[in-house]
Structure 1
Amino acid sequence: MPDMSELRRETRLRTFLKGRIVFNNGNSSMDCLVRDISASGARLMLSQTATLPDGFDLIIPAKDRTHKATLRWRKADSVGVTFADEAAHPAAASASDTTPAALLARIRELEAENASLRRQLQEAEAVLLDRSL
């Protein structure tokens, strides 16, 4: 069986983004972690074993994006999806843009995401510390 990366049309960028999978007309949802992404798809890590439908919405708050996702493969705690709406979001297609302005914008985006993750980590540590007292 060929490596999944050989089957991709585009290179995926490694990420550590919070995501939300929404299905059942918005009545069901679960958190996920977007581990890599391209304009046409992503690899998601799931913290819980759950049955997912073939199609769902993937919300990525840090990128202010919602994608119509189609499940392509599943392994233990991760799934691969393709986006049905890749043409609908041209900004996502420019992820491989290496112009200085695009790179600076990406750096700012990653710094903001990093700061948010640090705050969440500090809050979690404070809760754990309070529980141990």
Structure 2
Amino acid sequence: MSELRKEVRLRTFLKGRIVFNNGNASMDCLVRDLSATGARLTLSQTAVLPDAFDLLIPAKDKLYKATLRWRRSDSVGVAFQNDRMETPAAPAAVETSAAVLLQRIHELETENATLRRLLAEAEAAMMDKIA
């Protein structure tokens, strides 16, 4: 199989997540070999995989469009559908108004002051016990 590869795969031990069925189904895997064009995955579950799925590797913050190429006992080989790696879409930014942010800052400052007062009281009580 290695003679058919265009690139050398690097040995890895990365947690991966196979996502399919429009994001409604997923399973964990280990990424054991990785190159720019494909990977070898180890599965802990015996499950039927579709011919194409997304492979998410959180440690690298990468999402690959993968195509199943081969399967042996607990391992599968995948080829990435394009050579470029994609970054998972970031969650939509939450817009907050300046008034909401100022209110939150005020709440945090009040909480901080309360915690400082409680800490000072606790330190004073400890000093009284020591003396």
Per the alignment, residue 58 of structure 2 pairs with 61
Aligned residues: 86
For structure 2, the 5+ residue unaligned runs are 87-131
Is 1:43 the counterpart of 2:40? The answer is yes
Per the alignment, residue 9 of structure 1 pairs with 6
Max Rg structure: 2
Identify, as 1 or 2, the structure richer in helix: 1
Is 1:87 the counterpart of 2:92? The answer is no
RMSD of aligned Cα (Å): 0.9
Per the alignment, residue 34 of structure 1 pairs with 31
Distance 1:15 1:88, change over 3 A: closer
Distance 1:88 1:78, change over 3 A: closer
Tell me, in whole angstroms, the C-alpha distance in 2 between the residues paired with 1:20 and 1:52: 12
Identity %: 76
- 4+ aligned runs moved over 2 Å, structure 1: none
Tell me, in whole angstroms, the C-alpha distance in 2 between the residues paired with 1:48 and 1:63: 23
Q: How far 1:67 moved relative to its partner? A: 0.2
TM-score scaled by length of structure 1? 0.63
Q: How far 1:86 moved relative to its partner? A: 1.4
Per the alignment, residue 101 of structure 1 pairs with none
TM-score scaled by length of structure 2? 0.64
Q: Deviations over 1:88-129 (max 9, x none)?
A: 55xxxxxxxxxxxxxxxxxxxxxxxxxxxxxxxxxxxxxxxx
